[in-house]
Amino acid sequence: MGLHACRTFGLLALCLGAASAQTLKVGVTPGALADSAQIAADEARAAGLEVQIVEFTDWTLPNTALVNGDLDLNYYQHQAFLDTFNRENRQDLRSVGPGVRGNIGLFSRRYTTLASLPQGARVALANDTSNQTRALETLQEAGLIRLRPDAPRLAQLDDIAENPKKLSFIELAGPQLPRALDDADLVVVTPGSLVQAGQNEVAHQGLFYSTGTDTFWGIQFVTRADNANDPRVRQFVSIYQSSAAVRQRVHDSYAGEEKFYSLTWLAASPAQPVAEVK
């Protein structure tokens, strides 16, 4: 099967209708995830498992299609995003394995070290709940702030306990962050986003890159609760995680820079769902 781009429910039906009932249908988003999943699909076919990769440009449809039974599996969201979808839509979609984690970096056109950041420096970061949490955790890991010990799992700006440089924060939608480099003193964003925005050189000049291999921020393979033990699902996830060709494609997609990403399944600690977002 080829790679399909589905942008509407009508086109989605056409894409999915072409697959047989025994074909495993996997929803992904463009880029490293789609490309690496397609390689796994090719290897699965050689092992006797037919897989159709369905590409989405919308961040809601892959879960909606999964709930409706139009997909068997999707691969595009981290645990925090999944938890929010389940809570807001009263669903029980479940992770059946961890995938790639895109790391976060701290970038600046004006300063070359974190120590040189001035008092009151302006920091641009994501305005959505889960990605703002990631940004704050990265700032804390870099030693620029300290979050409250009792902060919720999805900590937000109000949960900052210590801010010695008196940083001020600019909240922006994720796609706007690469452009904020011209205005902010520091931007918290994935280097992969900078590469996709044509700023490959900047992506390699981060002042700091997040580390860690916990699966909470890694992209999850997700399916319905009643499909979690489908052997086709388990086989595909296993093929993806064990494939040398998949790892090479991921590496290439992240500009050949290992600090841009983590393969969380190699040293995985299980992602724990968030019970409540305060």
**Rounded to two decimals, what is the model's pTM?**
0.76
One pLDDT digit (tens) per residue for the chain, 278 residues: 334 444 444 445 445 454 455 899 999 988 889 999 999 999 999 999 999 999 998 888 999 999 999 999 999 999 988 998 999 899 999 999 999 998 999 999 999 999 999 999 999 999 988 889 999 999 999 999 999 999 999 999 999 999 999 999 999 988 899 999 999 999 999 998 898 788 989 999 999 999 877 788 999 999 999 999 999 999 999 999 999 999 999 999 888 999 899 999 987 555 555 444 33
User: Considering the domain boundaries, does residue 56 fall inside one?
Assistant: yes
Containing H/E element for 66? helix 61-67
Burial 179-200 (b: 16+ CB within 10 A, else e): ebbeebbbbbbbbbbbbbbebe
User: Is 79 found in the same domain as 133?
Assistant: no
Number of domains in the chain: 2
Give the domain extent around 201.
Answer: 105-209
Instruction: Supply the CATH number for residue 127's domain.
Output: 3.40.190.10
Distance separating alpha carbons of residues 25 and 28, to the nearest angstrom: 10
User: Is 148 found in the same domain as 87?
Assistant: no
User: Is 37 found in the same domain as 75?
Assistant: yes
Domain limit, last residue, from 209, 233, 255: 209
User: Is 168 found in the same domain as 220?
Assistant: no
User: Is 162 found in the same domain as 67?
Assistant: no
User: Is 109 found in the same domain as 75?
Assistant: no
Domain limit, last residue, from 209, 228, 243: 209
User: Is 142 found in the same domain as 50?
Assistant: no
